A and B are shown apart, each in its own frame.
Chain A
């Protein structure tokens, strides 16, 4: 797949990272500007409804603290998604240990997605959101990453800790389910 936009974005991110390493703190601000909104959106898809800003901030802090380990095998945004998802998992495990919460299942994810639905304005979009809510958790994560965030199957596999082939299968199953719901 030749995704020209992602290649250009990766180049720009690479330049900004180098500038930040050279001491230009404004480059860090530029990187935050480029990816913060996507991270907020991804947090919503992961079912995070509280302290989203804090989660995004922690994601950037962890990323910049370990920027030397970023090898640019994937795009910076994919790497940030991976970090954010791990933070969410860690947060849920900590909550589970404290007895405040249990493992988030698909129903809870759906309710989290429903919360985001309130932000969606038009009726067609709400229908799509309803269709997405019926997907399994993995299908929804793969589908949204592929369609709404433009990630490749390889990147999705890295973010979700899966394989490229499995991500492809989840995508096609999700597409079939969404089409069926929308055509009812």
Chain B
């Protein structure tokens, strides 16, 4: 038996038998089969082999499908991470901020809240000024040995007086007679101050290098004499 002289077309016989070729290739093979007895014989065998394809029982499709892993998208939707939730629901501005460390976010939030709350400003200002004054006094000595009182003395205004007193509250501290000074720190209703004064107070606060030492020292006499209750 002679061999086929068109091995390229002979290679296509299984696909021709399976009827999976495109129309052009099908026509070429059909024309070749009309001339090639060898390939025609092969085709008979191939068709018999295809008919002999063992019939098998189809497995339980539903059981197999149920055992499959969930799709990646479903897994992500079922167990989203915190970042994904923020990205999904947060507006654009918040998305940008979410990329910052939490500590930075908290700092920014505090700054915004401070600017909006006059009461917070008043409370902080009062505590800081009182604390700062107490530090200053503590450094100079509080009471001289004779125990002379200097309450109400018309001492020259101290360089530490933050604002002009308006009678709200005066913190008067006795100092040694040789250097008698009254450190007067007042605070009252914020509405009494102009915007420029408030800004000036804030600037001074920013420049004050004593933020961690603002706690009043024990025993420091603080005498509120009018208004200005604790916020």
B22 CB contacts on chain A under 8 angstroms: 2-4
Cα distance, A119 to B58, chains bound together (Å): 13
CB-nearest residue of chain A to B10: A172
Nearest chain A CB to B10 CB, angstrom units:
9
B179 within 8 A of partner (CB): no
Cα distance, A27 to B72, chains bound together (Å): 13
Interface residues of A (CB under 8 A from B): 1-6, 20-25, 28-29, 32-33, 36-37, 40-41, 44, 52-53, 56-57, 60-61, 64-65, 116-117, 119-122, 124-126, 128-129, 132, 143, 146-148, 150, 153, 168, 175, 178-179, 182
B197 within 8 A of partner (CB): no
Nearest chain B CB to A2 CB, angstrom units:
5
Residue interface mask B17-56, A partner, CB < 8 A = 1: 1111110110000000000000001100110111111111
Nearest chain B CB to A44 CB, angstrom units:
6
Check A128 against B58 for contact (C-beta < 8 Å).
no
A65 CB contacts on chain B under 8 angstroms: 69
Interface residues of B (CB under 8 A from A): 11-12, 14-15, 17-22, 24-25, 41-42, 45-46, 48-65, 67-74, 77
Check A36 against B64 for contact (C-beta < 8 Å).
yes
A-B contact count (CB 8 A): 134
A53 CB contacts on chain B under 8 angstroms: 59-60, 63-64
Task: List 4 additional contacts besides A5-B19, A20-B71; criterion CB under 8 Å.
Answer: A40-B56, A41-B56, A124-B52, A126-B52
Please classify the interface of chain A as helix (H, G, I), strand (E, B), loop, or mixed, using the class held by over half of its residues: helix
Cα distance, A29 to B14, chains bound together (Å): 29
* Neighbour of A37 across the interface among B46, B58, B63, CB < 8 A: B58
CB-nearest residue of chain A to B76: A23
A28-B52 CB under 8 A given contacts A37-B58, A56-B64: no
Check A52 against B24 for contact (C-beta < 8 Å).
no
Check A23 against B53 for contact (C-beta < 8 Å).
no
B20 CB contacts on chain A under 8 angstroms: 3-6, 150
Most buried by A among B15, B57, B63: B15
* Neighbour of A36 across the interface among B12, B25, B59, CB < 8 A: B59
A21-B71 CB under 8 A given contacts A2-B24, A179-B41: yes
